[in-house]
Structure 1
């Protein structure tokens, strides 16, 4: 039950940060460049959090000797949080500067844009990137690179090598 509460809290925190960033933009607290800098800062902070959380999940899974399928479920939840978080970052960058991404129709509704950037985020995270949407500004490229680095760390180091990491950490504990 505590895991469910934690996940609901984490999804809520991601959505709150997104709504807060959008609210800050709507109220004109920052110029476009400063808003992009804020999104980049939040992106880096969330990336640090996700790396820490994924590492903690790996250590906990090892200590509790949980089955691989349970660990994969935990990681799918974490990856969906990451994809949602970056989709919101991309959306915020696009709202502040529609030239941030090419291949996105600025006439799309709010919900269409959220879907579009959710789609883009999942493609980036899964390394499929079709190229129909591309980052066109430096801030957008920085945030996309941040997601790709986090995806690489998550997929390559944590998911693909869970068993050997688990054995290594268990040996170290003994």
Structure 2
């Protein structure tokens, strides 16, 4: 069986995708832990809040690299819509969750980074869920306005998420003509 057939009809696609994606996911997890639990503890050093932006840029680089590498492999070897959807589902999840963690870190560092109509109590899960919602709304470009970035740092993070969404969307649309709907020969 050829490599293309192997990729289309076996678990080779998922093995290949997750063997490449684990590095990106590990980097995102590691930087998220640092930005969520280490940086906010050091509130006295304002310049450290900018490390959250630096971490977000590093994560963005790895997400873009993963999307470019994997989409090119899928288009070159498989062309299956289901494989493209799995890749984009993974990328969208990584982007939304990663930026939700960044927004949560900024909130913990200084709650004036965002204006919100709703008071968020100190529960970690409630704060994270609020910024997961904000990240999802930002990614989708809906922007209800119930949470608004108010600092240069938070606005820059929001712009970075929107730029990453734009990249993923445009990159996917640019290659849509090479996708097969089914796997019939």
TM value normalised by structure 1: 0.83
Distance 1:30 1:62 in 2: 49
Map residues 82-97 of structure 1 onto 2, 5 A cutoff: 82-97=95-110
Of 108, 112, 130, which aligns to 2:144?
Answer: 130
1:51 correspondence with 2:64: yes
Larger Rg belongs to: 2
Preserved contact between residue 98 and residue 106 of structure 1 (Cα < 8 Å): no
Distance 2:38 2:23 in 1: 22
Regions of 4+ moved over 6 Å: none
Distance 2:74 2:16 in 1: 15
Tell me how many residue pairs correspond in the alignment: 164
* Unaligned ranges ≥5, structure 2: 1-14, 180-185
- Greater shift after overlay, 92-101 or 67-76? 67-76
Of 74, 86, 111, which aligns to 2:87?
Answer: 74
Q: CA RMSD in A?
A: 2.1
Distance 2:167 2:40 in 1: 34
Corresponding residue for 1:141? Answer: 155
SS in 2 for 1:134: strand
* Unaligned ranges ≥5, structure 1: 168-174
Q: What is the CA deviation profile of residues 77-100 of structure 1, one whole-angstrom value per residue up to 9, with x for unaligned ones?
A: 111011111011101111001000
| Residue 114 of structure 1, CA deviation | 0.6
| Residue 69 of structure 1, CA deviation | 2.4
Question: Which is bigger in relative contact order (C-alpha 8 A, separation at least 6)?
Answer: 1
Q: Is the alpha carbon distance of 1:2 and 1:57 closer, same or farther for their aligned partners in structure 2, counting shifts above 3 Å?
A: closer
